[in-house]
Amino acid sequence: MDPFGKYIKAVSARAADKEILKKAQDGGIVSAAYIYGLESGLLDGVIIADKEDGFAAAPKVATTREEILNAAGTKYTVCPNLSVVKSAVREYGCDKLGFVGTPCQVRSIRKAIKYPIGYRHVPDKIALIMGIFCMENFPYNGMKAIVEEHCGIKMDDVVKTDIGKGKFWVYSKWGDVKTIPLKDTHPYEQGSCHVCMDYTAELADISTGSVGSPDGWSTIFVRTAKGEEYLNKMVEAGALETKEIDAVKPGLGLVEKLALTKKEKNGKEVEHRKEIGLPVPY
């Protein structure tokens, strides 16, 4: 079973810009790629997952460095980024759009490009597709239950969430840091996540996630010629620091373990649903 899908190369990287590293999560790869794209003219607009009251995620079209930095950081709750793609093209006039999403969203934007029913003005406007590693996601109410009921922090007070070392971490604006074991978060997951077998966003131009790289760095899979050209330009411009993935720990072994675990576990769920006649939204 192929754990990662097709890719040209894999590296460990982080943003070179200290402001990005301060505000973004892990290596700040998405923020760095977006900001570089806007400032170099490779992109004229990007889709971001912004924050609303109650630490809710909301899709937004961003055209400035400030908007990207203000929205930096991972949100472990569903954010419908595809819902603003058409408005980015039609209302904002974006001709070179950057899109980022979870594996299922990357799959959806690829389908929209290939079969543009309702998206006929969009396909040639997507300049870069970035994917984020994802084991599962949470609907907002599920996230709220984890944060407020298990961690005792109000959603309005949350400034950051993270997943690492087998725990879900919540940071408040008052300096509190609370955790819950990941095994206790499973009841709150999005149901459709249980039939998704893509951990590393295999259909993106560039995929990224913290797993496999040291703290403060991210693992990157470069999957397409477009993604390779974009990443090379970032490195040449000094926007990214990179290391060979084989030279860092824990390396791709851990990424492979998690990717195969998702494929095997959710593959069984898919087969089970087929056997009992349930639909498989994948």
What local confidence, expressed as pLDDT, does residue 118 receive?
83
The residue out of 146, 168, 187 marking a domain boundary is 187
Give per-residue burial for 47-56: e unless 16+ CB within 10 Å, then b.
Answer: bbbbbeeebb
Give pLDDT tens digits for 208-245: 999 999 999 999 999 999 999 999 999 999 999 999 99
Give the Cα separation of 7 and 131 in Å (integer). 13
Sheet with 9-15, edge to edge strand ranges = 56-62, 45-52, 97-101, 126-132, 206-209, 218-222, 9-15, 240-244
Domain count, the chain: 2
Same domain, 67 and 22: yes
Residue 2 domain-assigned (yes or no): no
Give pLDDT tens digits for 119-169: 888 999 999 999 999 999 999 999 999 999 999 999 999 999 999 888 999
- Report the first-to-last Cα separation within the chain, whole angstroms: 18
Share of the chain above pLDDT 90, in %: 89
Same domain, 108 and 21: yes
Please state the pTM of the whole predicted model. Answer: 0.94
Give per-residue burial for 128-140: e unless 16+ CB within 10 Å, then b.
Answer: bbbbbbbbbbbeb
What local confidence, expressed as pLDDT, does residue 282 receive?
63
Same domain, 98 and 179: no
Residue 279 domain-assigned (yes or no): no
* Residue 280 backbone dihedrals phi, psi, to 5 degrees: -120, 105
Residue-number span of the structural domain to which 154 is assigned? 137-187
What local confidence, expressed as pLDDT, does residue 119 receive?
86
Give the Cα separation of 282 and 270 in Å (integer). 9
Distances (CA, A) of 71 to 34, 61, 64, 137, 189: 12, 11, 11, 18, 23
Greatest alpha-carbon span in the chain: 54
Other CB atoms within a 10 A radius of the CB of residue 9 amount to 13
Higher pLDDT, 33 or 165: 33
Q: Over the chain, what is the mean pLDDT?
A: 95
Question: CATH number of the domain that 179 lies in?
Answer: 3.10.450.750
For residue 25, pLDDT beyond 70: yes
Residue 1 domain-assigned (yes or no): no
What local confidence, expressed as pLDDT, does residue 99 receive?
98
What local confidence, expressed as pLDDT, does residue 117 receive?
87
Mean pLDDT within 233-260: 97
Give pLDDT tens digits for 67-107: 999 999 888 999 999 999 999 999 999 999 999 999 999 99
Residue 70 domain-assigned (yes or no): yes
For residue 61, pLDDT beyond 90: yes
What local confidence, expressed as pLDDT, does residue 120 receive?
84
